Amino acid sequence: MRIGAVSYLNTKPLIEGLAERRSDIDLIVDLPSRLADRLARGELDVALIPSIEFFQNPSYQIISDACIGCRGPVMSVKVLFRRPPAEVKTLALDEGSRTSAALSRILLAERFDVRPRLEPLPIGSGAADTKADAVLLIGDRAMHPVGETFVEEWDLGDVWCRWSELSFVFAMWVARPGVDLTGVDTLLSEARDRGVAKLEEIAHREYERKGITYETCLTYLRDNLYFYLGKRELAGLNLYYQHAAAMGLAPQGLVLPQEPLISRR
């Protein structure tokens, strides 16, 4: 089984000990946007894909109650503004993102009636490499100071959760059709439970190579991220879907799950 996981710090607690549990697992790490494309091409069987990508294929199935979500500020998803949001004409989008790319467009449209021209921000580039009025950064690179003063900065987790009074779900475990999923939900929820029980250890292991302090790393994993796809998260996902569909960023008419998946343990 080829399982694709996000290569950022946020995913470490979801894959703790995962590859060691079953000899038939090939764990591949990549950027979220690339995981979605690889799952769509059939190069992966199961992947942690941006939630908006789940809407694009009705044959996809959510297979775990583990996810990357937040119930407030997320710390690693930012829109940096060089002009006030109401005056934004161009938006540079982190190439690794699909969910937050759509979310930033939704929030600009809904709150400011702004529909900017979009440009990609390639993986190797930083905010300084674009002149866009606003820049979306996600993942590890969004956690470091950019060295520029912005007129406004949005933490998209915070902005969404305040605006919607619900959680936000950035990425979910999804399988393509025709894959034998026996035991996979247990495998993924157990990996998450192991990871969540060991956040200090994971933070110790990761903080230096991510260029952040141990405290920041632990706070991020423990307090900013939320790894459970519960009722409030599904309600947030549903609302996000409604906005995405209304803006033509997702197909119309999907019925998403409302009730959390009960893990078959």
Ligand X SMILES: C=C(O[C@@H]1C=C(C(=O)O)C=C[C@H]1O)C(=O)O
Taking CB under 6 A as the rule, does residue 139 contact ligand X?
Answer: yes
Binding-site residue total for ligand X (CB under 6 A)? Answer: 18
Segment interacting with ligand X (CB under 6 A) among 81-89, 137-145, 188-196, 205-213: 137-145
Taking CB under 6 A as the rule, does residue 64 contact ligand X?
Answer: no
CB half-sphere exposure, 57, CA atoms < 13 A: 19
Least CB distance to ligand X at residue 234 (A)? 17
Give the contact letters, 94-133, x = binds to ligand X (CB under 6 A), - = no.
Answer: ---xxxx---------------------------------
Sequential DSSP letters for 28-78 = EEE-HHHHHHHHHTTS-SEEEEEHHHHHH-TT-EEEEEEEEEESS--SSEE
Q: Are 175 and 61 in contact (CB under 8 A)?
A: yes
Taking CB under 6 A as the rule, does residue 138 contact ligand X?
Answer: yes
In the region spanning residues 221 to 250, those forming contacts with ligand X, defined by CB under 6 A, are none
Label residue 40 exposed, middle or buried (CB < 10 Å: 0-12, 13-18, 19+). Answer: middle
Taking CB under 6 A as the rule, does residue 32 contact ligand X?
Answer: yes
- 17: which DSSP letter? T
Whole-angstrom distance, CA of residue 31 vs CA of residue 170: 13
Among 74, 127, 244, 250, indicate the residue that binds ligand X (CB under 6 A).
74
Least CB distance to ligand X at residue 74 (A)? 5
Please say which residue, 103 or 187, places its beta carbon nearer to ligand X: 103
34-116-50 Cα angle (round to 5): 25
Whole-angstrom distance, CA of residue 204 vs CA of residue 177: 38
Please say which residue, 73 or 260, places its beta carbon nearer to ligand X: 73
Q: Are 60 and 54 in contact (CB under 8 A)?
A: yes
In the region spanning residues 151 to 210, those forming contacts with ligand X, defined by CB under 6 A, are 170-171
Least CB distance to ligand X at residue 4 (A)? 11
255-73-136 Cα angle (round to 5): 80
Taking CB under 6 A as the rule, does residue 76 contact ligand X?
Answer: yes
Taking CB under 6 A as the rule, does residue 68 contact ligand X?
Answer: yes
Least CB distance to ligand X at residue 159 (A)? 13
Taking CB under 6 A as the rule, does residue 93 contact ligand X?
Answer: no
Taking CB under 6 A as the rule, does residue 10 contact ligand X?
Answer: yes
Helix (H, G, I), strand (E, B) or coil at 27: strand
Given the rule CB under 6 A, which residues bind ligand X? 6, 8, 10, 32, 50, 68, 74, 76-77, 97-100, 138-139, 142, 170-171
